[in-house]
Structure 1
């Protein structure tokens, strides 16, 4: 492996080490092997590996002292791969939903380790009055239709873990009382969708439905975001049916690999 001047900084070294661990045929490596591959001293390779072990990206076998890819690297890799797959599958269906309802359509994913969600795709409403949603940053899962449509369909122990971590006011409309939140989640499970007002974004109405993976685990949600002044409560059920239909077909396509 040719090492350039740029590759001598710590971040570049760490990335080079991870890349080599991924691409090398061996299932694990020793310090001297990595040092030779990166053209660094064994002591530098040892420090680099220890830093990666501390972060969880690399695992050291206590019996052999050899190194392999760690659980954190594998976890992040799987999330990245699933995001690409889910987005590719969901976007055509989201586009059809956006065309039908004329409102912003969102796709969010859920990380069961972090107990948080992230918006990864947004098809914005053509209306001048609309909400622009921040993508690719972690959000609490207990607030808003997007998060609650995920949370309501999680196992009870996972719901407990989320609540035990703390529920706070994202806006003045966020449900922060655990009993009230649990009651709301039960209603969402019964209805099959979530409808909230101003719980994540002031002045916004959200309608969300869960997206499932092949094993039946909740992967994320499809959600509409509508300015409150444009939302007609009489249309809630028809909009909810469209959102649930979109989420069902995305779930089906994910399950079949379409």
Structure 2
């Protein structure tokens, strides 16, 4: 896969287009996308999209199923995801906490890190409850405020920082069901109750899909600033009333234990690179 490096600055533009394609495919990882679907979703020209897809396929980053005519995220990314996970050592150190929470709650537990102005899934554990709610894959990233774990991080930030992030990410949030007013209401709820809560689908075009909910609390550095979050996702009836309170108590307990154990790493920062998604 070759990126042009002419004086006109084509390399950054090509990189941006590649990222757009990879992000689009990641949102359709289960069923893949046809070339026409990718062109429509990315607004790239058909010839350009086809050329970039071929280049990604040559490198093992995209798979093409000739029988269905669909493109999928390539298996090579698994090794990259593993390498990234190893870099963020917090994931390995948090394994016991996530495992305990998954065992106690029987639901799905996620660890997310604050990487720049995004929340990135670093690890997860599935519980034993027969109905599982799987909303994130390791490596998935979302704008701050989108989703329970991401909201827990945002609510722990200062008001000026929250306003800055909301302003800068307005375009990126267009496909999500989170207006500025809704984010501010969720920040207020999170600060009042000590945990973030979400029971609606994050995407606008999936708003009718209900029945899932999540609670989350922020992981904080010594100075009180958020470094990440732990959140539990389940079918909605399992996160109501007394049971929600009990689950939140379990998450808070594990959060405190984890903060005490890995304070130096949290203070050093899980990640500082600002992530840009077109």
Check the 8 A contact 1:210/1:221 in 2, yes or no.
yes
> Which range moves more in the overlay, 101-110 or 183-192?
183-192
Q: Deviation digits for residues 202-258 of structure 1, max 9, x if unmatched?
A: 431100000123443311100000012444433111111111221222222221569
For 2:155, which of 141, 152, 156 is the aligned residue?
152
Structure 1 counterpart of 2:133: 131
Q: Residues of 1 paired with 2:255 and 2:187: CA distance?
A: 18
Q: Residues of 1 paired with 2:122 and 2:232: CA distance?
A: 14
Summarize the Cα distance change of 1:219–1:257 in structure 2 as closer, same or farther, 3 Å threshold: closer
Give the gaps of 5 or more residues in structure 2.
16-83, 204-208, 267-278
Structure 1 counterpart of 2:27: none
Secondary structure in 2 aligned to 1:246?
A: helix
Structure 1 counterpart of 2:253: 245
Q: Residues of 2 paired with 1:214 and 1:82: CA distance?
A: 24
**Aligned pair 1:89/2:93, yes or no?**
yes
Structure 1 counterpart of 2:113: 109
Cα drift, residue 96 of structure 1: 1.1
Structure 2 counterpart of 1:206: 214
> Which range moves more in the overlay, 88-97 or 125-134?
125-134
Q: Residues of 2 paired with 1:160 and 1:192: CA distance?
A: 20
Structure 2 counterpart of 1:69: none
Check the 8 A contact 2:197/2:214 in 1, yes or no.
yes
Which has the bigger relative contact order, CA under 8 A and spacing at least 6?
Answer: 2
Structure 2 counterpart of 1:194: 196
Bigger Rg, structure 1 or 2: 1
Cα drift, residue 95 of structure 1: 1.0
TM-score by length of 2: 0.57
Structure 1 counterpart of 2:186: 184
The two structures, once aligned, show a CA RMSD in angstroms of 3.2
Cα drift, residue 190 of structure 1: 2.3
For 2:143, which of 137, 140, 143 is the aligned residue?
140
Structure 2 counterpart of 1:43: none
Summarize the Cα distance change of 1:168–1:138 in structure 2 as closer, same or farther, 3 Å threshold: same
For 1:234, which of 233, 239, 242 is the aligned residue?
242
Cα drift, residue 196 of structure 1: 1.1
Structure 2 counterpart of 1:100: 104
TM-score by length of 1: 0.62
For 1:168, which of 167, 174, 196 is the aligned residue?
174
Check the 8 A contact 1:106/1:122 in 2, yes or no.
yes
Summarize the Cα distance change of 1:175–1:81 in structure 2 as closer, same or farther, 3 Å threshold: closer
Check the 8 A contact 1:208/1:224 in 2, yes or no.
yes
Cα drift, residue 183 of structure 1: 2.6
Q: Residues of 1 paired with 2:187 and 2:142: CA distance?
A: 18
